Amino acid sequence: MRLILAHDNADLDAIASLALARKLHPDAIPVLHGGLDGSERTAFILFKDSLGILTPEDLPDEEIESLIVVDTHHLGRLGEFAEVARKVPVLVYDHHPTEGDVPPGHYQLVGSCATLLTRRIQQEGIELTNPEATLALAGLEADTDFFQNGNTTREDFQAAAYLSQFADLRVVREITRQFFDPGALGILAELLKDPGWQDIGAFRVILKVLRPQERIPGAGLAMRLISLTGADAVFLFLQDGDRTDVVARARQRGPNVSRILQEIGGGGHKQAASARVEMSPEEALQKVLACTAWQEKPVLVCDRMTRDVRTLSDHLKVSDAIVELVRIGHNGAPVLHEGKLVGMVSRRDLDRAMRHGLQNAPVRSVMSKRVISIEPDAPLGHATELIRKHSVGRLPVVKAGHLLGILTRSDLLGEAPPKPDLTEKVLSQLQMQDWEIIETVRENAPGAAKIMLVGGAVRDALLGKHPTDLDVVVSGADVIEVAEHSGLNFKCYPQYGNATLSLPNGNHLDLIQARDEYYTFPGASPTVMKGTLEQDLARRDFTINALALQLTPEVRLLDLHDGLSDLGAGLLRVLHPLSFMEDPSRIVRGARLAVRLGFRLEERTLSTIPDALPHAASAIKRLKSELMLVFQERTPGAVFETLKGWGAEELYGFGDLTALKRADEERRRGEHVPTETLMALWLHSFPESERKQVARKWQIPKRTREVADLIQPGNFGRMNDWEFLYWCLLNPEQAREYEVLRLTPPRQVTGRELLELGMKPGSQLGQLLEHLKNLREEEKVSSFEEEMQAAKTWMQEQGML
What is the rounded distance in angstroms from the CA atom of residue 394 to the CA atom of residue 410? Answer: 9
What residues have CB less than 8 Å from 505, skipping those under 6 apart? Answer: 433
In a domain, 287, yes or no: yes
Q: Are residues 368 and 308 in the same domain?
A: yes
Q: Cβ-count burial of 510 within 10 angstroms (0-12 exposed, 13-18 middle, 19+ buried)?
A: middle
CATH code of residue 375: 3.10.580.10
Q: Is there a single domain that holds both residue 191 and residue 163?
A: no
Spell out the long-range contacts of 366-369 with Cβ–Cβ below 8 A and sequence spacing 24 or more: 366/318, 367/314, 367/335, 367/342, 367/343, 368/343, 368/344, 369/342, 369/343
Within a domain: 571: no
Domain with 432 in it: 417-554
Q: Is residue 244 part of a domain?
A: yes
> What number is the average pLDDT over the span 750-767?
80
Quick check: 7 pLDDT over 70?
A: yes
120 plus 237 within the same structural domain: no
Q: Are 741 and 776 in contact (CB under 8 A)?
A: no
Distance of CA 384 to the CA centre of its chain: 20
Residues 438 and 541 in one domain: yes
Higher pLDDT, 201 or 563: 563
320 and 285 in a common domain: no
pLDDT tens across 404-416, in order? 988 876 666 544 4
**Comparing 583 with 505, which gets the higher pLDDT?**
583
Q: Which of 303-317, 539-553, 621-635 has the highest mean pLDDT?
A: 621-635
* pLDDT (0 to 100) of residue 314: 93
Q: CATH number for the domain including 231?
A: 3.10.310.30
56-111 tens-digit pLDDT: 888 888 899 999 999 988 888 888 898 898 889 999 999 887 765 678 888 888 88
Based on the fold, state whether residues 258 and 336 are members of the same structural domain: no
* Judgement on whether residues 168 and 191 belong to the same structural domain of the protein: no
End-to-end CA distance of the chain: 90
Whether residue 163 has pLDDT greater than 90: yes
Backbone angles phi, psi at 145, to 5 degrees: 55, 50
In this predicted model, which residue has the larger pLDDT, 232 or 20?
20
User: Average pLDDT over the chain, rounded to whole?
Assistant: 82
Q: 691-709: per-residue pLDDT in tens?
A: 889 989 998 887 777 777 7
Taking residues 621-632, report their average pLDDT.
92
The pLDDT, as a whole number, for residue 184 is 62
Residue 635 placed within a domain: no
Q: Are residues 272 and 308 in the same domain?
A: no
- pLDDT at 688 > cutoff 70: yes
Distance CA(325)–CA(329), nearest Å, equals: 6
The CATH number that applies at residue 85 is 3.90.1640.10
Is it the case that residue 381 has pLDDT exceeding 60?
A: yes
* 457 and 330 housed in the same domain: no
- Decide if 631 is inside a domain: no
Residue 430 lies in a domain: yes
The verdict on 226 and 145 lying in the same domain is no
In a domain, 671, yes or no: yes
pLDDT at 721 over 50: no
- pLDDT given for residue 179 in this prediction: 42
Cα separation, 448 vs 476, whole angstroms: 6
List phi, psi (to 5°) of 689: -70, -20
Which residues lie closer than 8 Å to 247 by C-beta, 6 or more apart? 218, 219, 221, 222, 235, 236, 238, 274
C-alpha 752/C-alpha 784 separation (Å) is: 13
pLDDT digits (tens, 9 = 90+) for 429-448: 777 677 777 877 887 888 77
Q: How confident is the model at residue 246 (pLDDT cuts 50, 70, 90)?
A: very high
Q: Residue range 655-670: average pLDDT?
A: 80
Q: Which one of 491, 522, 554 terminates a domain?
A: 554
In a domain, 622, yes or no: no
What pLDDT digit, counting tens, does each position of 387-402 carry? 766 657 678 999 888 8
Asked if 170 and 61 sit in the same domain, the reply is: yes
pLDDT classification of 420: cutoffs 50, 70, 90: very low
Reduced 3-state DSSP string for 636-661: HHHHHHHHHHCCCHHHCCCCCCHHHH
Task: Give me the phi and psi of 450, to 5 degrees please.
Answer: -115, 125
Q: How far apart are CA 458 and CA 471, in angstroms?
A: 10
Confidence grade of residue 42 (pLDDT, cut at 50, 70, 90): low
Would the CA dihedral through 685, 690, 692, 695 be positive or negative?
Answer: negative
Write the pLDDT tens digit of every residue in 327-351: 776 778 899 998 899 998 888 788 8
Domain end among 372, 387, 412: 412
Q: Is the pTM of this model over 0.75?
A: no
Q: In this predicted structure, what is the pLDDT of residue 741?
A: 30
- Considering the domain architecture, whether residues 16 and 159 belong to the same structural domain is answered as yes
DSSP 8-state secondary structure symbol assigned to residue 521: S
DSSP letter (8 states) at residue 59 = S
The count of domains in the chain is 6
Of 176, 201, 221, the one marking the end of a domain is 176
